[in-house]
Amino acid sequence: MKKIGLLLLLCVAVSAAAQQADSTSANQDTPQGTLATSVTFPYERVQTPTTADLYCAGFVSKQLLPDSNFVVGGLQTPNTTKFVNGEVVYLKGNGYQTGQQYEIIRELRDPNRYELFAGQHSMLKATGQAYAELGRVRIVDTRSKTAVAQVEFSCDPIAPGDIAIPFAEKPAVSFHPQIRFDRFAPASGKLSGRIVLAKDFDSELGTGSKVYMNVGANQGIKVGDYFRAVRSYEADLHDPVDSLSFKASTNEDTQRKMPSFEPKLLTKTNGPAIHVADLPRRAVGEIVILNTTATTATGMVVFAMEDLHVGDDVEMDAQ
């Protein structure tokens, strides 16, 4: 019985020591002036990009890609106008050889022309042309005026007019181990940019979403780098929808002095003034780089604390 009692005491002591070590380690890993909690320093659970994520993400390019090689139809033309995995398509242009692989892309336009943040259209014009990646084909016959190809992998249906460019393998993405996500980290001074567009012209983004940023290889960005999406409350203040909440009353009838938000812009009371610029900047998600051009980068949201928005700032992750 004494041996059993000693073993129990030893187990309790070891468990307590381990918990204390974990607590000490967690506190040591957090910056000075902070206390690690599940709200301020949650653990990241990063989603791993799949092959489809890598090859279907799309991109923005400052340089327009050549469009002399393109899809003109398929085996069931004109009855079929959309082609997917396993089907036959016909390609117009030059330089085709049997066995070659081509990537099918689409030069995009937004039919809605809706600006998701002030200045988005001018920023996009300066950033480049958006392209969708639709799939990969292999040339199987070159005896006619148009080459015959078979779709080996499709992201979205391929249509006549879509562009064919030589296929290139994409490098694998490396992942960091599970770390704590610093939700209120001040600006680090590292490379920063902005989300100027998202795949499928989405506006609100979550884990797995693809985003296009206005920074690229010229700034030293490479595949596998991580960026943090951040948002200030001033962005909410200038948003035509989110700003409405600032104008709503937050006062309690029992407050003797009621606070006012941005007295010069919104509400003015006899109480303390609350300035949005004084509120901490918050990190909303983590983005891994899937592809780069000289001036742009395609990223995938691998961790999100809340929805990301087109127009959010991004900053290279110091970790």
Cis? peptide before 78, omega within 30° of 0: yes
Average pLDDT, stretch 165-179?
Answer: 87
**Cα distance between residue 229 and residue 289, in whole Å:** 12
Q: What are the C-alpha distances in Å from 32 to residues 5, 27, 35, 190?
A: 42, 9, 8, 20
Asked if 56 and 155 touch (Cβ cutoff 8 Å), the reply is: yes
- pLDDT bracket for residue 265 (50, 70, 90): low
pLDDT reported for residue 260: 78
With a cut of 70, say whether residue 216 has pLDDT above it: yes
With a cut of 50, say whether residue 252 has pLDDT above it: yes
DSSP β-ladder status, 260-261 and 273-274 = parallel
DSSP, collapsed to helix, strand or coil, labels residue 313 as strand
**Mean per-residue pLDDT over the chain, rounded:** 87
With a cut of 70, say whether residue 218 has pLDDT above it: yes
Find, among 130, 171, 312, 288, the residue nearest to 234 by Cα: 312
DSSP, collapsed to helix, strand or coil, labels residue 6 as helix
**Cα distance between residue 250 and residue 12, in whole Å:** 49
**Cα distance between residue 203 and residue 197, in whole Å:** 8
Q: What are the C-alpha distances in Å from 67 to residues 64, 77, 162, 317?
A: 9, 21, 8, 37
Q: Which residues pair with 297 in a beta bridge?
A: 213, 292
Average pLDDT, stretch 194-200?
Answer: 97
CA 55 to chain centre: 15
Residue 178 DSSP one-character state: P
pLDDT reported for residue 98: 98
Provide the sign of the torsion angle of the four alpha carbons 127, 109, 66, 153, taken in this order: positive
Compute the CA torsion angle 252, 257, 262, 268 (nearest 10 deg).
Answer: 100
Find, among 46, 123, 120, 60, the residue nearest to 292 by Cα: 60
Token couple for 208: 């797995």
Residue bearing the bigger pLDDT, 82 or 247: 82
pLDDT reported for residue 17: 42
Q: Which residues pair with 107 in a beta bridge?
A: 131
| Lowest-confidence pick of 6-15, 64-73, 93-102, 174-183 | 6-15
Find, among 144, 133, 134, 147, the residue nearest to 92 by Cα: 147
pTM given for the model: 0.85
Asked if 190 and 318 touch (Cβ cutoff 8 Å), the reply is: yes
DSSP, collapsed to helix, strand or coil, labels residue 209 as coil
Asked if 57 and 301 touch (Cβ cutoff 8 Å), the reply is: no
